Structure 1
């Protein structure tokens, strides 16, 4: 039984953990911070790979110097180019990481290595998928092109060797058959919280370094005719998910990440239970029920192929069991208003929009679907309304919101704001009274039902006229035309009816002195 040959396998224990489904919409701060722990672990793995690559490069140089011939020099240069390409790509991704860090608000107060806005999903969607203002597309599409280009250039350095291609981790994986995503960038980054994107980028960087290792090992074989041998070992795990839903099966591949080409008499156990091994890999499976963080200990016994000494390596691993989560987002305000369309967006982690059922109750509520995951809500009675999400394995999840009338509009003369002392000509140019909704995001208009105009001329009795509707009737217009400097006009008992109102509401009075 042989030990894995490529040093890239030193970090496979984290490769899939970075791609886990820890992206429920309402996860804890501890889970969010765990993404940065994963990213830090990936960085440590990259450092190990870089040191290993340096050792391989030293051996390539020794062989090429000892046996000077054109073919050896060719593969020496190919190895150098592979390292340069990987470093150039690594710096490119570092630039994207810095850009994302800055867009997420820069260093947080609690930890300068973690940005402030780690939960934000709009930042990542715009930056990686939709594109910022003035951009045709997000940077995720550029990353995809660069990954493909780097993989092609790396394989060209190995004469497109099929064995190297099979072990080179840097690649654009195909989209799952049942996904509704249309692109790799969309699948990877849309609606991902900022915290999750850092380990995703870190994995891509790790894959680039590991791919350079594959090229270097190929070049070493060509110049030396043998593989480099290592003498250090480390347990590793490859899990499709680190966060699973209660009732799902947790699976993980456990194997020996080694610094040697051969390892005999390997035995692997988890929490004392021995696991069968096939091709150096043991598969661990366990059913999940209760939620929370689960820990298990991996023990690997291995015989050193150089000394014959048997050593034991142990390491603890964790995964988290959670429950499906759902959210309802009110697109305009965190309250439903009577008489207008209230747009909402609904979603649930692990549940497609086709499987998600949306229902509503209370406050005379009704729902109208106007797109995938989007609805318009109408309500008729003040109080509370409840939106319930279910389906696709999600238990009924309720969200309760306040229901209110549209706020009172502001009464204005001619739909404009005037000082209480108004020029005579300006006053006579107005045609009525308006009810204006200020700082209200909904498409709603309130209609003036009526008011009373009282005209006070100096040293004369008050004259009153009643007006129905917003515009001045002929009697009121006659009073308006009489205006002279020093006269006072009172617009009393202004009433208006807004969408959803059964009766007109009182808005107050207006007073103007003619100058």
Structure 2
């Protein structure tokens, strides 16, 4: 009965029902608050990412304005104006967020205890007062309208397709900032969106407006960059070049070439922030390379023939973090040809008794990696050797090395061993049958030469024999007549032939070598 008085039992049941409904409301409220909290954090994180992307675009437009000029000067002016307006508006919203969360951040500095952000009085005190919208709330609405109008003026007017998008993002209702509610009545846009709402809900909405600001910036920058961004995202000849990448710096005849043709970025890459490279273990100096977009251009001496190795890292800074790109490359240096190779096939000859200079090399292989051996062979430096043959009529020189691909190469070459040709005796530098005054012979030097011999050997006379007609043969030590020989010479008559023979000579560099018999000198005495 409508007017009947409730019994104590009915009152208890009604109270329990009210408590039950309240508990349900509290549980739903906590879940809703958590949902707003998750949305708040995700939008804040998205804002950071868009902000970083925008910075890259701002920098690109600025660089284009400096390097390309033309339309990019006007585009850069628009970008600078938009950034100034956007940062001012964004920072104002951030200041409001900091103000309304000041108390919450005392015990919850990270703003993650969403269930405690169920009250809305913090923002209400900022945007509203006893008369409705406060002075601060009015300024906030004016800032939204001003930002929207400025973006449309400097940007959407040039790119009309963005006008509707900007209007939608920063719509505050009609000309009086009023919106229609579900029941058909009019209400202030600010009240409809912020008055009486939980703190976490207002934080999420304000952060969403910051996101709209950054996305609008992104739209502006993308439109200003226009086709440049579209072209850069495509693979074409404007952005890429082909590079040949090989596992080694040189290949030999008959080998399979296993190199790769790859694409390399033509422009837009950043220069290395640091270069840590070595050449064969030696650190490169700054004057030996130049930093270029995406790498370095080397300026180093190729050095001796052989394999050279470049190792180390190219260091790039990405958002403050170092990224080290390893470098492990090699190249081959081969000897520069400066003459043709012409050889007589039957002239592989070395001479006994002298040091025969030889060059032993393998094209493309460093000298210190070549193995050469033979009896009497010794290395002087690099590819230069000396061969001093011993007994026998032939000597085989063996040369070998390991190629960069691991294959071994070995070569055996035979050389004939010949004795030094027979020396020719001389008197005063003259040989054979000569005419000479008697007095000149007494002071002349007796020696020997090697006619038409490639090695410049200065022979030293050890002894010789002297024969004057009608007198006994005299043996002389040294290279000049002694007193006994001079006495015999004084007895010789003008017109007679004096013989100098059995000349014994030595090579000062190899005294043990025995030369063939030296040819004699016949001297006709004249006045």
Q: Using CA pairs under 8 Å that are at least 6 residues apart, name the structure with larger relative contact order, 1 or 2.
A: 1
TM range (shorter): 0.3 to 0.5
- TM-score calculated relative to the size of structure 2: 0.34
- TM-score calculated relative to the size of structure 1: 0.35
Q: Highest CA radius of gyration, 1 or 2?
A: 2
